[in-house]
Amino acid sequence: MLAFGAHPDDVEIGMGGTLALCARRGLVTAICDLTQAELSSNGTVETRRAEAREAARLLGVAVRENAGLADRGFRVNEETVAKVTAIIRRLKPRVVFAPYEEDRHPDHRLCSQLVQEAVANAALRRYVPPGCSEEPHRVAALYYYLIHGFTKPSFVVDTSETQALKEKALLAYRSQFVADPGRVTTPLNQGFLDALRARDRWFGHLAGTTYGEGFVSTVPVVVDVATWKRDR
Ligand SMILES: [Zn+2]
């Protein structure tokens, strides 16, 4: 499982519970942050890096990388598509996750488009990113997680058992979510985690679980009938 985010903490907000659950079920998980969030109002690049490492550890994420693109400076172009394509070919994920494109932050929208382009190119035999010697790779699925957006999900992952872990991982980003003295007031440190818990609870409610993380799929999701055997 490979989840892309524009900034360290995007993936945790949208699908931290799912990644923790995947790790618990024996799947290998990875996060690739496109930027170091160097334009954030609070925290430094070094702080964010340490926070991201700790959050990944809590969620059992095996690999965390940073693509080194510029915060509020990257665009979807030949160069960035090549870079992200090379990452996908090297890590060979079965499932890729990206932010859902309806989001108030332009970097989240760009990250969504960039990953779509790279997933498509990763499968093309005749597309060779500069300096990339990896084989073409076709992912089984590309799903979108929600950061600031709210939409009707295509499916929900029951994250009831990892909700507490997700919240712990988010609190590892103290510089972002806690209004310590001297911090700049931002929407993130003014009750954001409470609002996020409410969204996770609501998605869980819609799906008949306690907590849940919602995802959007642009193609119909196949259901394994074996899962119908168990009573809820
Ligand atoms: Zn972000």
| Segment-wise mean pLDDT, segments of 10 residues, the chain, 232 residues | 97 98 98 94 92 98 97 96 98 98 96 98 96 95 95 97 98 92 91 96 97 97 87 62
Neighbours of 214 (CB within 10 A): 26
What pLDDT shows up at residue 49? Answer: 94
Q: Which residues pair with 3 in a beta bridge?
A: 31, 97
CA of 217 to the centre of ligand 1 (A): 20
Beta strand spans in 19-166 (E): 30-35, 63-69, 95-99, 141-145, 155-158
CA of 113 to the centre of ligand 1 (A): 15
CA of 107 to the centre of ligand 1 (A): 7
CA of 7 to the centre of ligand 1 (A): 5
What pLDDT shows up at residue 159? Answer: 98
Structure-token match 């590892």, residue found: 172
- CATH classification (class only), 2-219: alpha beta
**What are the residue ranges spanned by the domains of the chain?**
2-219
User: Percentage of the chain with pLDDT > 90?
Assistant: 88
What pLDDT shows up at residue 229? Answer: 86
Q: What kind and span of H or E run contains 4?
A: strand 2-5
CA of 224 to the centre of ligand 1 (A): 33
Beta strand spans in 124-167 (E): 141-145, 155-158
What pLDDT shows up at residue 33? Answer: 98
Spatial separation of the C-alpha atoms in residues 213 and 206, rounded to whole Å: 11
Spatial separation of the C-alpha atoms in residues 62 and 195, rounded to whole Å: 28
What pLDDT shows up at residue 56? Answer: 98
